[in-house]
Amino acid sequence: MDKQKKQWLELMAQAVDKAAQAKGLESADYTSRIVVEHPPRPEMGDLAFPMFPFAKDFKTAPPVIAQAVVEALGAGLPGTAKTMGPYVNVFLDRAALIEDLIKDCASEEYGKSDLLSGQKIMVEFSCPNTNKPLHLGHLRNDAIGESISRILIASGAEVQKVNLINNRGVHICKSMLAYQRFGNGVTPESSGIKGDHLVGDFYVKFNQWSKEDDTAEAQAQDMLIKWEEGDKEVVALWELMNKWTIDGISETYKNTNISFDRYYYESNTYLSGRDEVVKGLEAGVFYKDEDGSIRLDLSEIGMDTKVMLRSDGTSVYMTQDLGTAIARHGDFPFDRLIYVVGAEQEYHFQVLFHALKKLGYSWADMLFHLSYGMVNLPEGKMKSREGTVVDADDLLKQLSEMAADEIRSKDRAEAVGDVEETGRKIALAALHYFLLQVSPYKDMIFNPKESLSFNGNTGPYLQYMSARISSMLEKFEERKGEFEGVSPDYSVMNSDAEWELVKALSSFPAAVRSAANDLNPSAVAAHLYDTAKSFSRFYHDCPILGSDDKVVTVTRIELAGAALQVLKKGFELVNIPFLSKM
């Protein structure tokens, strides 16, 4: 549709100019002033061009201008133009458009663009702590980061997906201290507990213990100082428990189809960040407070002050984020660095970006905080310190089991083959689609049961629709001999249901561009649902394999195949597994 739309934009500009000259006005390029709209009803055409923008030039009523423009268009057009009051409405050449669309959908490049060609974009997401496993909040972060990265790549950008492992700090020491006191030498192997879960249990244990022992917090702070001083015993325990957690988290990434091009570790960047703070102090960017801490004056951006180094010389998050940002630009001189981090960290990033500017890094203007909303449960917020978070592994297991039970209850076990693997893929579709269908900038409530529904606006519904198309195409292949020598005739597609599906498929590239521009995967998710709904109506209203006309069958099969191609391309962008059987 884009091709004919562009043609009509050019034709309308030429026709307006021709009509202007006929009225005795000077020739001009009217392209930038042409407005294209979509009529509210199918019987009014496919495109509508209002003539209001030219009333002042022509000193004529818009309906009169519309008539003059239609006459100036002449013959040999890719469709038909008619006046409808102050509008020129266009009925596109649907047969030609559908033929082009079906060819386009079959191309690997359909939906891709050069919108961001030449741009190097780094996307930071996930960023787990090594004192606990991933939870539902991480899953939303991962879903957004992975999907945005794929969308940016489809839009022509060179993308690096990076993960900052938060493997140092007092919160890490809390798990370590609890392990020293209560662990009794337990390991993931001896306990049969996944490493990140085992370490997380000790983080919860610390917070329980700290309520009984008011020295616990101070002991954790002392352990952090020992770690920064290189105490061998503390460092050895830190290395062991970090490995347990990272191995466990890596398994979760694998199970959710999340990957990274590069990992950064706070333990490697906090020292360079500290050096930057010391340099900044010497240059007068920072100042030493009376309590001995090094601070940044934020009055320029309407804030108070921010600690960059504590009075005991230990680092804060800001310190290490300075070092990490500088290291990243050295590794991959980006045009943009997108931090996918929750809205509760908006202050942190305002300060970080300001600090980098004050230190003289011109690329600080290229930093962007994608501030996404909270994800909660129907019963309320989660609290990791109290062990009340929804664990990522447990949630995936629960969703997978629920999906597998649904398959068995519908007697589809033999048809799908591996029920457990199919259940896992349905669970991923349920999870990722539910997390991405809402704009990342909004808070949301995740409802596991709703996400798994095979009806309505869900991932499993999309998978089911694509499996239905796959099944139909497979049956057509089995009967292909009946259609030997029959060629498609796109002019037979003249029903509203067919045209609705064509328009949905045509708008896929625009949806991807919108998602890239706004860093909002929900634009792709919404398009997938619209496409699935349009196909459902097409399937219901237009007999395909059941048609008595072989030409109609062959033509509609091609449109169904195009719909499947678009769904599969969209699935890839929002990290939904494709299933040919359900």
DSSP 519-530: T-THHHHHHHHH
pLDDT at 501: 97
Q: What's the one-letter identity of residue 302?
A: G
Residue 95 CA to residue 492 CA, distance in Å, equals: 8
pLDDT digits (tens, 9 = 90+) for 248-276: 999 999 999 999 999 999 999 888 999 99
504 and 361 inside one domain? no
80 and 160 inside one domain? no
Nearest to 446 by CA among 392, 519, 520, 515: 392
Residue 501 CA to residue 505 CA, distance in Å, equals: 6
C-alpha angle 312/317/319, rounded to 5°? Answer: 65
pLDDT at 371: 96
233 and 159 inside one domain? yes
pLDDT digits (tens, 9 = 90+) for 44-56: 999 999 999 999 9
Contact call for residues 234 and 240 (beta carbons, < 8 A) = no
Q: Is 257 exposed, middle or buried (0-12, 13-18, 19+ CB in 10 A)?
A: middle
353 and 405 inside one domain? no
Total structural domains within the chain: 3
353 and 403 inside one domain? no
135 and 46 inside one domain? no
Strand ordering across the sheet containing 294-297? 287-288, 294-297, 305-309
Q: Of 376, 400, 420, which marks where a domain is finished? A: 376
Residue 315 CA to residue 168 CA, distance in Å, equals: 10
Residue 201 CA to residue 197 CA, distance in Å, equals: 6
501 and 369 inside one domain? no
- Collapsing DSSP states into helix, strand and coil, what is residue 38? coil
* Rounded (10°) CA dihedral 407, 411, 413, 414: -150
414 and 452 inside one domain? yes
Residue 366 sits in a domain whose CATH number is 3.40.50.620
187 and 40 inside one domain? no
Q: What's the one-letter identity of residue 207?
A: N
pLDDT at 75: 87
77 and 162 inside one domain? no
Cα 440 from chain centroid? 8
Q: Cite the DSSP H helix spans in 230-311.
A: 232-255, 266-283
In this structure, how many other beta carbons lie within 10 angstroms of the beta carbon of residue 212?
Answer: 7
Residue 562 domain-assigned (yes or no): yes
Q: For the chain, which ranges sit under pLDDT 70?
A: 380-388
Residue 176 domain-assigned (yes or no): yes
pLDDT at 380: 57
How many Cα atoms occupy the beta-carbon half-sphere of 285 within 13 Å?
15
- Collapsing DSSP states into helix, strand and coil, what is residue 45? coil
Residue 215 makes CB contacts below 8 A (sequence gap 6+) with none
Residue 20 sits in a domain whose CATH number is 3.30.1360.70
Residue 102 domain-assigned (yes or no): no
Q: What's the one-letter identity of residue 109?
A: E
Residue 174 domain-assigned (yes or no): yes
Helix axes 550-573, 94-106, angle to 10 degrees: 50
Residue 98 domain-assigned (yes or no): no
Residue 438 CA to residue 521 CA, distance in Å, equals: 9
Cα 564 from chain centroid? 21
What phi and psi values does residue 548 have, to the nearest 5 degrees?
Answer: -80, -15
Residue 522 CA to residue 573 CA, distance in Å, equals: 11
Residue 538 CA to residue 13 CA, distance in Å, equals: 35
Q: What's the one-letter identity of residue 294?
A: I
Residue 170 CA to residue 131 CA, distance in Å, equals: 10
Residue 308 domain-assigned (yes or no): no
Q: Of 92, 113, 144, which marks where a domain is finished? A: 92
Residue 412 domain-assigned (yes or no): yes
- Collapsing DSSP states into helix, strand and coil, what is residue 472? helix
168 and 79 inside one domain? no
476 and 535 inside one domain? yes
Residue 401 CA to residue 423 CA, distance in Å, equals: 7
Residue 266 CA to residue 319 CA, distance in Å, equals: 10
Nearest to 458 by CA among 426, 418, 502: 426
Residue 52 CA to residue 44 CA, distance in Å, equals: 18
Residue 445 sits in a domain whose CATH number is 1.10.730.10
Q: What's the one-letter identity of residue 137?
A: G
**What domain range is 509 assigned to?**
392-573
Tokens, residue 259: 């990957």
pLDDT at 384: 47
Residue 137 CA to residue 154 CA, distance in Å, equals: 26
Helix axes 170-182, 216-228, angle to 10 degrees: 110
Residue 99 domain-assigned (yes or no): no
How many Cα atoms occupy the beta-carbon half-sphere of 227 within 13 Å?
27
